[in-house]
Chain A
Amino acid sequence: MQAFGINAYSGDDGQTVIAEHDETQALAAEHQELYVVLAGRATFTVGGEEIDAPPGTFVFVGDPSTRRAAVAREGGTTVLAVGAPAGEAYSVGRWEPMAGFFDFYMRRDYEGGIAFLEECLRRDPGYPGTLYNLACAESLAGRADDALEHLRAAIEGEPKLRENAREDQDFAPLRDDPRFRELVR
């Protein structure tokens, strides 16, 4: 599909189904987004406002700068997410091929995640999102030198990622490394 973005996210009670984000942050595409609760129940937080969302609820976030997130309140909750920028042609997010990384990440299989992301980089060299996540996995795997190299490349590609890296707990193993402090300064 090339005209708009569309994906579905599923989770059980208490699980995040839409990660907190806005559409102006690093690597975001300034999409308008429409969420549709297909099954279960979710609580959305949009611009600080909580919204109870049973099946059939439509939640629209037109302003890309609005923070939004959702948590499942029942088992089997499924949320459809549709997005595209207003006034511009949609293009497929470069993040899509690397979405599978988070399966490795959640299982703490960092070496598996590193191999997965290296393959993504071969297909789409230089994508800052892949470089950043690769740096995270390498940091957690104790591969400090590789992590710093890839984090540097990620920030060169998308300077907004410097701010993410400052607070990202995945880089806790690097906090005392002067090279890391220099990178995120």
Chain B
Amino acid sequence: MTASALAGVESLRTRDGYDWHSIRHHFDVRGFGVNANVAVEPGVIVEEHDETHGDGGQEELYVVLSGRATFTLEGEEVDAPPGTLVFVRDPAVKRAAVAHEAGTALLCLGGRPGQPFRISSWEYSRRALARAEAGDGDAAIAILEKALAERPRDPVLSYDLACFESLAGRREDALAHLKVALEADPSLVDHARTDTDLDPIRDDPSVPRPPGDPIGSGRQ
């Protein structure tokens, strides 16, 4: 499809309560990242983050399409009525935004200077999470399996797939994907120690355990 209003782009409710429209996925844009966040009620509309981790390194531009938001960029507040463009060049800058009214809509654009655009792993993970939270764990797993087929051994995709497989009772698949994830990105070990998604497979010795709860400490 060539043209669409935002209402025609699939909407996924996020954990922070705003709706996320993956415009990039809708049109299969391959040249740059583009999504929209729409507030259902006043509150978080961009989670605090920087672009130094995982798929990071992106320059980001936010465009306020409607409503009103306050951005916080490295501690500095920016009032953002409709039409405001907020550009964050430095990947290390912490950025976040809060919507002041329901219906506040932000267009979020991103890409890496000097590099071809690559679809972020978190985009797949976010779509999968929305499916899982809607009760369709199989659809979540299918999204990540398809993404992993395109980029095998991607640590974030492997980790998230392991989580959904763990919750779905697919123990062996979960253990295999968790192993791939932790080998590819050892920094995920700390996250895995306390990730409750992995509790169904926590009794396996290969699954990291919480601090002070080493293997054989009694939980086995």
Contact = CB atoms under 8 A, between A and B. Distances in A.
A109 B6 CA distance: 42
Contacts of A32: 29-32
A84 B63 contact: no
Interface in B107-124: 107, 109-117
Contacts, number: 102
B61 to A, nearest CB: 7
Interface of A: 1-4, 6, 31-32, 34, 36, 38-39, 44, 46-47, 49, 51, 53-54, 56-62, 80, 82-90
Given A6-B61, A90-B32, 15 more contacts: A2-B113, A3-B112, A4-B117, A36-B65, A46-B2, A51-B2, A53-B3, A82-B109, A84-B31, A84-B111, A86-B117, A87-B30, A89-B113, A90-B31, A90-B111
B65 A58 contact: no
B59 A34 contact: no
B2 to A, nearest CB: 5
B2 A34 contact: no
B5 A82 contact: no
14 contacts: A3-B32, A3-B110, A32-B30, A39-B83, A51-B2, A56-B65, A57-B3, A57-B5, A60-B27, A82-B34, A85-B31, A86-B116, A90-B32, A90-B111
A83 B31 contact: yes
Contact of A88 (B87, B113, B116): B116
A59 B59 contact: no
A89 B117 CA distance: 7
B79 to A, nearest CB: 19
A44 B3 contact: yes
A1 B114 contact: no
Contacts of A87: 30, 116-117
A6 B109 contact: yes
B58 A3 contact: yes
A99 B28 CA distance: 30
A58 B117 contact: no
B28 A82 contact: no
A84 B117 contact: yes
B175 interface: no
Contact of B31 (A44, A57, A86): A86
Q: Identify the 8 closest CB pairs spanning chains A and B, nearest first.
A: A3-B111, A86-B30, A84-B31, A2-B113, A32-B31, A60-B27, A4-B32, A3-B59
A61 B2 contact: yes
A61 B107 CA distance: 18
Contacts of B198: none
A31 B31 contact: yes
A51 B111 CA distance: 28
Nearest to B30: A86
Contact of A34 (B27, B58, B113): B27
Contacts of B187: none
A61 B108 CA distance: 18
A85 B32 CA distance: 8
